[in-house]
A = this chain, B = another copy of it.
């Protein structure tokens, strides 16, 4: 059964992930207006976004789609309309794709129940951010070579518990054969025991011989809850000195926006080992691959693992 939505990466098989990666390689250089040929794409963004919203919009247009941005503040959601009613109306209006970012975990899945076209999750609460994980994987594949990820150690450092990026990355990185370490203060590692990853509050063990380290945005308003900003910086900031514990030349990734001086330093964020801008750049071809895959779902372009 072909997939109709992309709500999370945990339902994708290794083969599906590979297919998206191959398609994304094509879309690094290729534009085509025929895939979506004028199909209407709604971008419902209930949280601020630069990279994700723009790269979805660019992707949809490069595939020939017509994009419409819907922000809650200027929509009927400001009058109290529920997400469900908004989605039902977008469906009635004839939208074929709905890209949704929402502060509530599960929002994309709810949307998918009421939308006749394809829903793409652009981040829902603390739950999942599948296209970010796919573009992170794409970035690592282009860095290491696609056949050379197996067995590598990837450290993800920060407020893991509240990070949809970390959670989605665990699945795709595991599918690609890497070993994932999730690292942060103990308070931020709760409830993650079922993930196929090693949890540790010891930065040294997470970084030791790692092949890449991915920082996560630390939201200062969460600091009050048991973790002080100063303590975090002292124990977990990925500095240039700490980067030396990784395997030689190992890159630094971060989904952005970075709080320089908190999760890492200016030196690392902008330094030669930073892949941060590569990640932004790869958002477009990867999201083109996702949209094209879903558009072709009827002809079986890529399939659910549980099919």
Residue ranges of A at the interface with B (Cβ–Cβ < 8 Å): 31, 38, 40, 42, 45, 48-51, 53-55, 57-58, 61, 66, 68, 70-71, 73-81, 85-86, 88-94, 217, 256-259, 277-278, 280-281, 283-284
Contact = CB atoms under 8 A, between A and B. Distances in A.
A79 B280 contact: no
Contact of A70 (B50, B61, B94): B50
Given A94-B284, A281-B94, A51 B89 contact: yes
B89 A76 contact: no
Nearest to A277: B92
Contacts of A86: 50
Contacts of A217: 79
B48 A93 contact: no
6 contacts: A49-B75, A51-B76, A51-B93, A53-B75, A54-B68, A92-B277
Contact of A50 (B38, B76, B94): B76
A73 B89 contact: no
A48 B70 CA distance: 11
A258 B284 CA distance: 37
Contacts of A81: 50, 256-257
A77 B94 contact: no
Which 3 A-B pairs have CB atoms at the shortest separation, nearest pair first?
A81-B257, A92-B280, A48-B78
A264 B206 CA distance: 57
Q: Which label, helix, strand, loop or mixed, suits the secondary structure of the A interface?
A: helix
A277 B89 CA distance: 6
B93 A54 contact: yes
Given A54-B68, A68-B54, A257 B92 contact: no
A68 B277 CA distance: 19
A259 B80 contact: yes
A90 B256 CA distance: 13
Nearest to A217: B79
B54 A85 contact: no
A71 B55 CA distance: 15
A78 B101 CA distance: 15
A74 B54 contact: no
Contacts of A53: 74-75
B58 A94 contact: yes
Contacts of A57: 68
Contacts of A58: 40, 66, 68, 93-94
A76 B49 contact: yes
Most chain B CB within 10 A, of A38, A88, A280, is at A280
Contacts of A66: 58, 61
Contacts of A77: 48, 50
Given A61-B66, A257-B79, A89 B48 contact: no
A75 B53 CA distance: 9
Contacts of A40: 58
Contacts of A73: 48, 74
Nearest to A258: B85
